[in-house]
């Protein structure tokens, strides 16, 4: 349930994106059927999802990078790291799982529970009244404040259709990356909330035990992912900065101060898009984009577009220049 166009504007994912972008270049993508990705994609097996990540990595031109998997993204990240050890420098798993809810042995939930939840999703997910979606929000983020809960209720409806949300729930319950755990060779940090109601705390310990040398850290939260404003959010990002040392070395301080929205704009400029093309891509007026680009150049203290492109590319922006390779994500 992601939407790269809207996630950063919400009080749920926005603080995560901002905190990560302050220290590293952050690349994200919508899973198949969600957000800006193609909606009609019924195939949701683990191999399909890993193939999508492979396509994103190749399109972005990444050679070696740290990989963060959250929630169901954990299984995908585990499998990718196991299959591509030469590319993943560090693996971070936050409230992730290797085994879906139907694959956890004695801790598995009954298939009838999945059936019941899917009926609720298919019947009420798309309604303007958020009562049905609030059930899932209460499970994901029981400690959310009113603004965070409202944002996640809305994000569920925006991110995918009721039909696809139901598909995701069923497919997620069957995912099993257990056999991939022993093949992960990179340094791994596993963080998991003590009271997580969506993915049991014991699943985090199971993952950490299955990856040689993995470091396991408890997050004192009942939320599925720590939210801004709680101590666990700060603790998680302190752990990340300690686990990925030297991430800021050699990066121009001017780029470190950019907001996620400014980084998105700069990346498009670095790809060689003009203001009209950027406006069409972002769904904004050309005049608005022109003003935003001018403000961005002032922030970077560059005098021309050419100078901005050179500096941006030196900092790692604009690498995903193969538009044909990205079309399925747009």
> Do 262 and 237 share a structural domain?
no
* Average pLDDT of the chain to the nearest whole number: 88
Q: Is residue 2 part of a domain?
A: no
> Do 259 and 199 share a structural domain?
no
Q: How confident is the model at residue 252 (pLDDT cuts 50, 70, 90)?
A: low
% of the chain with per-residue pLDDT over 70: 92
> Residue 111 is inside which H or E element, if any?
helix 111-124
Name the packing angle between helices 305-314 and 286-300 (round to 10°). 60
> Do 56 and 15 share a structural domain?
yes
Q: Is residue 71 part of a domain?
A: yes
Q: Are 215 and 240 in contact (CB under 8 A)?
A: no
Q: Does residue 275 register a pLDDT over 70?
A: yes
Q: Does residue 7 register a pLDDT over 70?
A: yes
Q: Is residue 287 part of a domain?
A: yes
Q: Is residue 191 part of a domain?
A: yes
Tell me the mean pLDDT in the region 284-292. 94
Q: How confident is the model at residue 120 (pLDDT cuts 50, 70, 90)?
A: confident
Residues with Cβ within 8 Å of residue 152, at least 6 apart in sequence: 10, 12, 137, 140, 141, 144
CA atoms within 13 A on the CB side of 153: 19
Among residues 243, 262, 297, which one ends one of the domains? 243
Residues with Cβ within 8 Å of residue 147, at least 6 apart in sequence: 11
Among residues 216, 243, 270, which one ends one of the domains? 243
Q: Are 33 and 160 in contact (CB under 8 A)?
A: yes
> Do 258 and 110 share a structural domain?
no
Tell me the mean pLDDT in the region 84-90. 94
> Do 294 and 145 share a structural domain?
no
- Taking the C-alpha atoms of residue 157 and residue 127, their distance in angstroms, rounded to an integer, is 8
Q: Is residue 194 part of a domain?
A: yes
Tell me the mean pLDDT in the region 290-311. 92
User: Which CATH number fits the domain that encloses residue 310?
Assistant: 1.10.10.10
% of the chain with per-residue pLDDT over 90: 65
Q: Is residue 222 part of a domain?
A: yes
Backbone angles phi and psi of 22, in degrees to 5: -70, -20
What's the confidence (pLDDT) of residue 192?
98
Q: Does residue 242 register a pLDDT over 80?
A: yes
> Do 324 and 235 share a structural domain?
no
Domain range enclosing 294: 253-329
What's the confidence (pLDDT) of residue 123?
83
Q: Does residue 152 register a pLDDT over 50?
A: yes
Q: Does residue 251 register a pLDDT over 60?
A: no
- Taking the C-alpha atoms of residue 266 and residue 91, their distance in angstroms, rounded to an integer, is 27
What domain count does the chain have? 2
pLDDT in tens, 197-219: 999 999 999 999 999 999 999 99
> Do 218 and 84 share a structural domain?
yes
> Do 212 and 299 share a structural domain?
no
Q: Does residue 19 register a pLDDT over 80?
A: yes
Q: Is residue 1 part of a domain?
A: no
- Burial of 78 per CB tally in 10 Å (0-12, 13-18, 19+): buried
pLDDT in tens, 121-137: 888 777 777 777 888 89
Whole-prediction pTM value? Answer: 0.75
Q: Is residue 283 part of a domain?
A: yes
> Do 261 and 159 share a structural domain?
no
Q: How confident is the model at residue 313 (pLDDT cuts 50, 70, 90)?
A: confident
What's the confidence (pLDDT) of residue 274?
94
> Residue 35 to residues 3, 27, 170, 186, 257: CA-CA distances in angstroms?
4, 15, 19, 30, 27
Q: How confident is the model at residue 77 (pLDDT cuts 50, 70, 90)?
A: very high
Q: Does residue 297 register a pLDDT over 60?
A: yes
> 69-83, 170-184, 306-320: which has the minimum mean pLDDT?
306-320
> Residue 310 to residues 164, 281, 306, 321, 323: CA-CA distances in angstroms?
41, 22, 6, 14, 20
Among residues 220, 243, 266, which one ends one of the domains? 243
Tell me the mean pLDDT in the region 16-22. 91
Tell me the mean pLDDT in the region 186-200. 95
Q: How confident is the model at residue 256 (pLDDT cuts 50, 70, 90)?
A: low
Q: Are 224 and 7 in contact (CB under 8 A)?
A: no
> 157-166, 223-232, 318-327: which has the minimum mean pLDDT?
318-327
> Do 294 and 225 share a structural domain?
no
> Residue 150 is inside which H or E element, if any?
helix 146-159
> Do 273 and 322 share a structural domain?
yes
User: Which CATH number fits the domain that encloses residue 34?
Assistant: 3.40.50.1820
Tokens representing 303?
């005098």
> Do 66 and 135 share a structural domain?
yes
């Amino acid at each position: 349930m992601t939407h790269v166009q809207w996630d950063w504007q919400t009080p749920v994912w926005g603080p995560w994106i901002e905190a990560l972008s302050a220290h590293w270049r952050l690349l994200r993508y919508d899973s198949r059927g969600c957000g800006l990705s193609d909606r009609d994609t019924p195939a949701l097996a683990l191999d399909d999802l890993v193939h999508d990540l492979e396509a994103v990595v190749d399109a972005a031109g990444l050679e070696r990078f740290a990989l963060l998997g959250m929630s169901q993204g954990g299984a995908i990240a585990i499998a990718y790291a196991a299959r591509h050890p030469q590319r993943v420098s560090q693996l971070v798993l936050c409230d992730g799982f290797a085994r879906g809810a139907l694959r956890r042995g004695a801790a598995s939930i009954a298939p009838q529970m999945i059936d019941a939840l899917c009926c609720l999703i298919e019947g009420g997910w798309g309604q303007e009244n958020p009562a049905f979606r609030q059930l899932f929000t209460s499970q994901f983020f029981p400690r959310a404040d009113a603004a965070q809960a409202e944002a996640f209720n809305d994000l569920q409806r925006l991110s995918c259709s009721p039909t696809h949300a139901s598909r995701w729930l069923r497919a997620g319950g069957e995912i099993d990356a257990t056999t991939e755990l022993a093949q992960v060779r990179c340094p791994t940090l596993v963080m998991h909330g003590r009271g997580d109601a969506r993915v049991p705390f014991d699943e985090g310990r199971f993952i950490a035990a299955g990856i040689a040398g993995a470091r396991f850290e408890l997050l004192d939260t009942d939320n599925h992912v720590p939210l801004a404003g709680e101590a666990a959010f700060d603790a998680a990002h302190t752990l990340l900065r300690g686990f990925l040392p030297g991430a800021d070395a050699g990066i121009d301080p001017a780029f470190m101060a950019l907001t996620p929205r400014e980084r998105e704009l700069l990346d498009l400029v670095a790809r060689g898009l003009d203001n009209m093309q950027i406006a069409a891509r972002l769904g904004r007026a050309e005049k608005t984009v022109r003003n935003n680009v001018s403000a961005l150049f002032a922030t970077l203290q560059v005098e021309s577009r050419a100078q901005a492109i050179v500096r941006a590319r030196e900092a790692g922006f604009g690498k995903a220049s193969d538009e044909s390779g990205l079309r399925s994500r747009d």
